[in-house]
Structure 1
Amino acid sequence: MLKTLTATSNNGLGLTAALLIASIGIGTLAGYTTPTMANWLNSYTDITLFVLISCLFISVRFDGLKKIHRKLSLVLIALVANFIIVPLIGYSIAYFLLDSYPLFMVGLMIYFMSPCTDWFLGFTRICHGDALLGSALLPINMLVQLLLYPFYVYLFSHNVVELGSDVIWTNLQHWFMAPLVVAVLVRVALHFILTPERSVLLSDKINHCIPLIISLLIMQIFAGNIDVLLAHAYIVPWLLLSVLCFFVSTFFLSELLSKGLGLVYAERVLLTMTIAARNAPLMLAITMAALPNQPLIYAAIIIGMLLEFPHLTALSHLLLRSQTSTSEKTVT
């Protein structure tokens, strides 16, 4: 059964990763060979962005909040780790390896600072972690990172990108409120039109469409900005190294916290996954709204997203193996 669940998850992740890679390839080819087609794709970026943000908001569930009282201390530990310790680790790595490339550094920092509000819960379930508590973390993570986003972005980018004092807030209000209103209206309509079961099913289908929308957005980014991106292709190895160092560092952080706090296996899995998984789709969308016309920043977020899939898969196997090893020792 474990192998079946893991294989199903890997197939889904493999398809998503393939979509993202294909979107980069198609966008690059279109931008390099057919500028007219590239300009046409790029002209619809705002529409794709609006649809993506709306779908991300629609797919968030808040029913898990009623379970937060179960283990409030673990939730607080996860919040401190995700929004204080992890950003400090990310900043140290990005500054050390990419200080000479500030736009890429800003993109990585945006990626590093935002815990996942989506697929980390699936990995938590597969590894037999505390998925009930994880469902309570989803809306909390989203709310906190959206509230902190203007502060973090201004802190990391005000010396790199020309920003007025209110440009981030203005852009976020413009791109945040309208999709949020759409999402709320859709959810209210679903509540009255459909049964709870059908409403959840439709919400899941919308969630499954998000990788397709992200892939379209990535294709548009690469098609419309291929000259700039190719001119900086030599930075990609440094981006890959930075993300790899981040994943290794955050894994050791989760192990240190788990052992130091004496967490049981299910709690350890939850903490490990929420620290490991980042919220690249939402951060890409919000960053395109808050910091328009910055393809190098977007590219850094996309690179992190591509590496995250194999990282989470490897982490799942590692956690499941440790559970099996612990069970065998207990039986012995």
Structure 2
Amino acid sequence: MNRLTLERRQVWIYLSAIIGGLLVGSVWPGIAPYFEMLLWPVLVCLLYVTFAQVPLLHLREAFRDHRFVAAMLVGNFIALPLLAWALIQWLPADAAIRLGVLLVLLVPCTDWFITFSQLGGGNVPGAIAVTPLNLLLQLLLLPVYLWLMLGTHLAITLSFTEIWPALLVVIVPLIAAVVSERWIEARPARVKLRERLAWWSVPLLALVVFLIAGAQVNAVSEALSLFPVIVPLFVAFLLLAALIAKGLARWMVLPTDQGRTLAFSLGTRNSFVVLPLALLLPAGWEIAAVVVIVQSLVELFGMAFYLWWVPRKLFR
């Protein structure tokens, strides 16, 4: 099996991991604290492997194609935040649910959208070049977006003393990935190491969702009644994101392959970068982490639809 085949089957791998985690957590409820302890080192490893695939030292290359970069920035950091804000107006007036939705919809993907761009006939070099810019801007702008859209609810919920462990979970693997990239690029023979690391993304992510499902059985049970509300919202986001990509590609006069890449970028979100923050929310806010997981599953099924719709209908 090659890596592309593994990534094509990742939806079913993650779904099986979630079901397995729920079963284990239901049969042995006392295992939840152990799953929670194990989750953090696994999540750090997952983020390191994810960041290691991003060309963090090549930010300058992202600016070579001005129209493509402009479309990416306008789509991911202006149009989609406005869309996310509009969509949460249809949600119940529950700050935890709205925070979970905003956390995941405000951050563009930096890893598997490249794979989907490749499978969907997109511009893979362009996708790779723009990922460090997307990652940097989302880390800088996410607090601003949340403050603007949630205001006092966010101030009451989050304080630096509560979120600094989550920030470390993101920052430590990010720094490690930068150091690794410099070490790998020092010698061409070391590039194979990065390719081997890429194989670990799917197994590690499956282990993360297994541990979360096992540790959060009660939160998942409580969230089942919300699925008819949040799942259609995430489906609507996927459809509208692709149409926004179509409009931006036409406005910026992008070639077809770049338009496809733009659609996959706008449709995919960086759910497992914001997951540490969702997991460290105070008691009573556990639903936010469940919302993030639900979005990632809806997105993966949505990408199966995108792989048909984007190259065959939207950007022919």
- Which category of TM-score, normalised to the shorter sequence, fits these structures? 0.7 to 0.9
1:34 corresponds to which residue? 28
1:183 aligns with 177
- Residue 59 (structure 2) pairs with residue 68 (structure 1): no
Q: How far is the alpha carbon of 1:269 from its aligned partner?
A: 1.3
What TM-score results when the alignment is normalised by the length of structure 2? Answer: 0.87
Partner in structure 1 of residue 199 of structure 2: 208
Which AA in structure 2 matches 1:284? L
CA shift, 1:42, in A, is: 2.2
**Equivalent in 107, 115, 127 of residue 122 of structure 1:** 115
TM-fit CA distance, 1:261: 3.4
| Counterpart in the other structure of 1:265 | 256
> d(CA) in 1 for partners of 2:191 and 2:78?
33
Quote how far apart the aligned CAs of 1:171 are: 3.8
Summarize the Cα distance change of 1:85–1:168 in structure 2 as closer, same or farther, 3 Å threshold: farther
Cα distance in 2 for partners of 1:241, 1:223 equals 25
Distance 2:102 2:158 in 1: 20
Is the 2:75–2:248 Cα contact (8 Å) retained in structure 1?
A: no
Whether 1:245 aligns to 2:236 is yes
Give the unaligned 5+ runs of structure 1: 327-332
RMSD over aligned Cα atoms: 2.8
* Match in the other structure for 2:302: 311
2:125 matched to which residue of 1?
132
1:15 to 9, 19, 37: 9
Partner of 1:233: 224
How many corresponding residue pairs? 313
CA distance in 2: counterparts of 1:207 and 1:235, whole angstroms: 34
Q: Contact 1:107–1:297 at 8 Å: present in 2 too? A: yes
Cα separation, 1, equivalents of 2:160 and 2:168: 12
Distance (Å, rounded) in 1 between the aligned partners of 2:10 and 2:129: 25
TM-score of the two chains, using structure 1 as the length reference: 0.83
Cα distance between partner residues in 2 of 1:236 and 1:126: 29
Within 5 Å, give how 1:106-117 maps onto structure 2: 106-117=99-110
- C-alpha displacement of 1:137: 0.8
The alpha-carbon distance between structure 1 residues 182 and 267, as it changes in their structure 2 partners (threshold 3 A), is closer
Q: Which runs of 5+ in 2 are unaligned?
A: none
Residue pair 1:62, 1:136 contacting (<8 A) in 2 also: no
Percentage of matched positions with identical amino acids = 21
Correspondence for 1:43: 37
Match of 2:145 among 136, 148, 152: 152
- Match of 1:263, SS? coil
Distance in structure 2 (CA, Å) of the matches to 1:116 and 1:280: 8
Q: Which protein has the larger Cα radius of gyration, Structure 1 or Structure 2?
A: 1
Q: CA shift at 1:297, angstroms?
A: 0.9
Partner of 1:299 in structure 2?
A: 290
Secondary structure at the counterpart of residue 115 of structure 1: coil
Distance (whole Å) between structure 2 residues aligned to residue 186 and residue 130 of structure 1: 26
Correspondence for 1:284: 275
Q: Distance in 2 between matches of 1:255 and 1:177?
A: 34
Matched to 2:102, the amino acid is M
1:68–1:229 CA distance, 2 compared to 1 (3 A): closer
Matched, 1:141 2:149: no
Q: Deviations over 1:63-111 (max 9, x none)?
A: 6545434321220221111011101111211221x23333222111111
Change beyond 3 A, Cα 1:54–1:232? same
